Amino acid sequence: RQTLERDYHSLCEKQPIGHMLFRQFCETRPELSRCVKFLDAVAGYEVAPDEKRKECGQHLIEKYLKPNSEDHVPEVPLQLVDACCERLEQEPSKELFKESTKLIHDYLSVAPFADYLDSLYFNRFLQWKWLERQPVTKNTFRQYRVLGKGGFGEVCACQVRATGKMYACKKLEKK
C-alpha cells in the first residue's frame, strides 16, 4: 500500500489492471459510466478511418455533448461543445476532442478517484499488485506429466497454483 504512487494517471491510466478495475468501479455509478463511455467513444473516433470520422464525430457530439441527450456529459461546457462542432465541420481531426477528454480525466481524478481509493475495487487492485510482487519459484507451479524430451531437457505441463492457468514449462539440463 505504501510503495504505490497514488495518483489517477499512474493507477487508472498507465496500469492495465488499475485501468480495468477503475472502469468497473465507474460502471457502478451512472454519472461516471457516462464519462467512461464518452472516453471510449472518443477513442473510437480517433481510430476511425478518415472518411467516417466526421460522421462518427457528429454521432459522438449528439450522444454525449448535447444537453438534451440521455447520455449527456455535463462536465464539458457548452462553449467547448460549440467549438468542437465548428471544428468538426471544418476539418475532423484526431485531436478534436482532446480538451474534452482532458476535462473528463480532470473530473475523474478528483472526487471519483478518491471514492475509488476507498472501494473494494482498489482493494482488489492491491491484491493483484501483491500477487505480482511475489517471486516466481518452482513452488509457484504444480508440475504434471512430461510432454516431450529433447537435447537440452524436457517440456512438462504445469499449472499456476494461484490462478489455475495451464502452461508448458521447459526444464533445462545444464551440464
Q: Report which of 103, 25, 9 is spatially closest to residue 65, judged by C-alpha positions.
A: 103
Q: Is 97 helix (H, G, I), strand (E, B) or coil?
A: coil
**Nine-digit cell string for 164:** 489455475
Q: What is the separation of C-alpha 166 from the centre of its chain, rounded to a whole number of angstroms?
A: 25
Structural element, H or E, at residue 149:
strand 141-150
| Separation CA 47–CA 40 (nearest Å) | 11
| Separation CA 41–CA 37 (nearest Å) | 6
Confirm or deny that 170 is annotated as ligand binding.
Answer: yes
Q: List residues forming the annotated binding site.
A: 170
Q: List residues forming the annotated binding site for ATP.
A: 170
